[in-house]
Amino acid sequence: MSYQNILSATNSGITTITINRPSKLNALNKATIQELHDAFDEANKSKSTKVIIVTGSGEKAFVAGADISEFADFDVKQGSKLAAKGQELLFDYVENLSTPVIAAVNGFALGGGLELAMSCHFRVASTNAKMGLPEVSLGVIPGYGGTQRLPQLVGKGRAMEMVMTAGMIDANQALDYGLVNHVTSVEELIPLAEKIASKIMRNSSVAIKSAINSINANYKDGINGFKTEIKQFGKCFGTEDFTEGTTAFLEKRKADFPGK
């Protein structure tokens, strides 16, 4: 597909999606959110994509926030619709993808940018990364899942402080909080993400899909995560990947999984 605001390239099983609006510090507008949805959907459906990495163009910003000019004059109904549509199209969508998604956070990840990073399955950051949810300084709150995912990742108290102060934390503090898994240099950010992706790709894509489903279930209202795990565990026994994985183990060889 052809995109105006993002770049998407696949190499050796990894699809890298880059938000490419450097003049706007890669801010998310409606068009970019739609293009990101389309790119994630295309990669998730592609048999050649085993892992997705999402990052921002340049070194200044992953995503510096939402494009405020698009909604500054919205009323209550329009604001509610904006949040609901955005969550459906992108943030909830990414969280529930069956293909693993790694956020490579370079520079500013603020507002919708941090919300996008948090919707990914996990995050790595460069040393120049700055993260925060500054929405209350504009008289609004995070609307793309930030008030829900941030406490899940860093705990209620830290989330309350970050949201209420509208402050930023640096990469090392984000690592200490558990908001990111790894911190590295700007130059090594994408290579590190690719190194982790290569480790993921050695394993069963079918089993990873079940693992994502099971882990996410623990954070959904009305869903019993243990029951979901039991169901997904059982389903694995009916897959070619299970047969190959267990056979390879017993034969003391490396498994050759069929793929997605």
The CA distances from residue 235 to 95, 110, 204, 244, in Å, are 21, 39, 13, 15
The whole-angstrom separation of Cα 172 and Cα 131 is 11
Specify which residues 63 forms β-bridges with: 109
CA-based nearest residue to 94, from 113, 117, 78, 71: 117
Q: Could you say which of 88, 135, 194, 244 is catalytic?
A: 135
Tell me the Cα Rg of the chain.
19
Two tokens at 68?
């405020």
Two tokens at 225?
């995560």
CB 106 within 8 A of CB 67: no
The CA distances from residue 104 to 45, 121, 126, 203, in Å, are 22, 11, 8, 21
Give yes or no: 135 in active site.
yes
In the sheet that holds 130-132, the strands lie side by side as 61-63, 108-110, 130-132, 168-170
Give yes or no: 35 in active site.
no
CA-based nearest residue to 239, from 213, 206, 209: 206
The whole-angstrom separation of Cα 58 and Cα 206 is 34
Q: Could you say which of 115, 187, 188, 240 is catalytic?
A: 115
Provide the annotated active-site residues: 115, 135
